[in-house]
Amino acid sequence: MGLNTILTKDTICLHLKGSNKQDIINELLDLLVAAGKVTDKAAALAAVMEREGKMSTGMKHGIAIPHGKTNAVSDLVTCIGVSDSPVDFEALDGEPCRIFIMTISPLEKTGPHLQFLAEISLLFKSQEKRAEMLKAGTPEEILRALSE
């Protein structure tokens, strides 16, 4: 699937302003709505928050992967946000997060969603990749880091 095939510079934000989980999720959804990737923000928000309610998507190493399934999208969509300040996302390792990768997929398409989550988790086990993401100055630098 490749992140660089579904991410665009319009779906990358390098300076998220949110200071909590709800704010970050709203900012990421705003990115996807502005890019024309999500047709119903309320439905997408409900799907992501329902998933968060089951178990936090804050992973390890300062990364969170909020995600959900809804018919507010026709295909898998994703965006990346980086926060200048650490945000408590109730991560599995108890550490705050600075890198946020949101994905939303249609209810009836399970394969791409699972493949995407697997790719993301492998990619960000690399300390070098995480460091590149945090120091990126432009969306293009994020795209370049992901394609290497």
Number of domains forming the structure of the chain: 1
Lowest mean pLDDT among 6-10, 20-24, 46-50, 51-55: 6-10
User: Domain containing 58: what range?
Assistant: 3-147
Tokens, residue 1? 């699937």
pLDDT band at 19 (very low <50, low <70, confident <90, very high): very high
Q: 74-130, pLDDT tens digit by residue? A: 989 999 999 999 999 999 899 999 999 999 999 887 777 777 777 777 667 788 889
- Measured CA to CA, the distance from residue 131 to residue 142 in angstroms comes to 11
Q: Is the Cα dihedral 13, 126, 49, 86 positive or negative?
A: negative
Instruction: Tell me which residue of 12, 18, 81, 78 sits closest to 48, measured CA to CA.
Output: 78
Which amino acid, 26? N
Give the pLDDT confidence of 50-62 residue by residue, as tens digits: 999 999 899 889 9
Average pLDDT, the chain: 90
The CA distances from residue 73 to 14, 26, 127, 134, 147, in Å, are 24, 16, 32, 28, 25
**CATH code of the domain containing 115:** 3.40.930.10
pLDDT in tens, 36-83: 999 999 999 999 999 999 998 998 899 999 999 999 999 899 999 999
Instruction: Say whether 61 is catalytic.
Output: no
Q: Which of 15, 61, 67, 113 is catalytic?
A: 67
